[in-house]
Structure 1
Amino acid sequence: SMFKRILFPTDFSAPSMKVLDYIPALQEVGTREVVLVHVIDSKDITLIASGGQGFLGTVSDRETETQRRLREEIEHQIIDARRSLEKRGLKVTVRTPVGNPEKEILSAADAEEASLIVIGSHGRSNIRDRLLGSVSEYVIKNARQPVLVIKRDTAGAK
């Protein structure tokens, strides 16, 4: 199935997590595996960890309190998202590359041989959510895979 292995890039903002609501529908059309991608923007890396690629593994001794909190928060969000997907019987792979979000999403899609990229879209008031603005536009234009854009609810949305 064209939908068997999907790539789900997320920054954990509400619009990006809307993708989860569509998982049952995607399973009906053959989705069995989800590759969850959370890119750690290298521009923000000083905020996060001196550990570089070892972000979720080895952590440098010099990690500050702020870095530690941020890292733990991301780890919890990843665990929660992974659990909710696994509960639905999906096989989940997690990737947390460090770099430029647009390029890392595309290279993860290629490396993981995703058949489809499923991405949340920003609404006007969410224009500041980087992943859901310029990043989703870049992905739509440049991905080799088909891209399914999940529109956020406009009704009653903040």
Structure 2
Amino acid sequence: MFERILFPTDFSVPSMKVLDYIPALQEAGTREVVLVHVIDQKDVTLIASGGQGFLGTVSDQETDTQRRLREEIQHKIIDTRRALEKQGVRVIVRTPVGSPGKEIVAAADAEGASLIVIGSHGRSNIRDRLLGTVSEYVVKNAHQPVLVVKRDTVAGK
């Protein structure tokens, strides 16, 4: 039923909880995972500007910062891909640049995903919101079913 799922991640702990659900999804027919990491356009703009205010505007810093960000993302993608493949699923990786919610919905349509599996909170991890802003956007705008994996909740946190 859910042969191809879309797994968007910002590599935060809540978003990576999706990995715990892969065995159950395989029982429901999942054979392929489209791993999506959206490079937020706002982050690209900040890095391209040299991070004015905290990094300065020297072009060497811009290039070095961009290179370090790209390498960090590549390492996280490789690690996540390996973790998925170790569980026995085929993996396709997509790294679009843009607005995360919009890019996730577009990727799900373009890849023919039968299900989107997303963490409820990412980097912002806002405590007083039911869902994170990206997952909320995806739930409201996706054309596929969306499984939202809740973050761990600990009393008092």
TM-score, shorter chain, exceeding 0.5:
yes
- From the superposition, tell whether residues 156 and 28 of structure 1 become closer, same or farther in structure 2 (CA, over 3 Å): farther
The within-5 A match list for 1:110-125 is 110-122=109-121
Please, which runs of 5 or more residues in structure 2 have no aligned partner? 50-59
Residues 1:20 and 2:15 are matched in the alignment: no
1:10, distance to aligned residue in structure 2 (A): 0.4
* 1:7 aligned residue: 6
Worse overlay, 6-15 or 39-48: 39-48
- From the superposition, tell whether residues 156 and 35 of structure 1 become closer, same or farther in structure 2 (CA, over 3 Å): farther
* 2:68 aligned residue: 69
* 1:58 aligned residue: none
Q: 1:134 and 1:145 mapped to 2: Cα distance?
A: 18
Contact 1:47–1:66 (Cα < 8 Å) also in 2: no
RMSD: 2.4
* 1:135 aligned residue: 134
* 2:52 aligned residue: none
Q: 2:19 and 2:99 mapped to 1: Cα distance?
A: 24
* 1:92 aligned residue: 91
1:122, distance to aligned residue in structure 2 (A): 2.3
1:70, distance to aligned residue in structure 2 (A): 1.0
* 2:53 aligned residue: none
2:83 counterpart SS class:
helix
Q: 1:108 and 1:71 mapped to 2: Cα distance?
A: 20
1:31 counterpart SS class:
coil
* 1:54 aligned residue: none
* 1:29 aligned residue: 28
Q: 1:143 and 1:80 mapped to 2: Cα distance?
A: 27
Residues 1:147 and 2:146 are matched in the alignment: yes
Higher alpha-carbon Rg: 2
Worse overlay, 39-48 or 109-118: 39-48
- From the superposition, tell whether residues 110 and 156 of structure 1 become closer, same or farther in structure 2 (CA, over 3 Å): same
* AA of the residue aligned to 2:150: K
- From the superposition, tell whether residues 116 and 157 of structure 1 become closer, same or farther in structure 2 (CA, over 3 Å): farther
Contact 1:10–1:37 (Cα < 8 Å) also in 2: yes
Aligned length: 143
Residue identity (%): 80
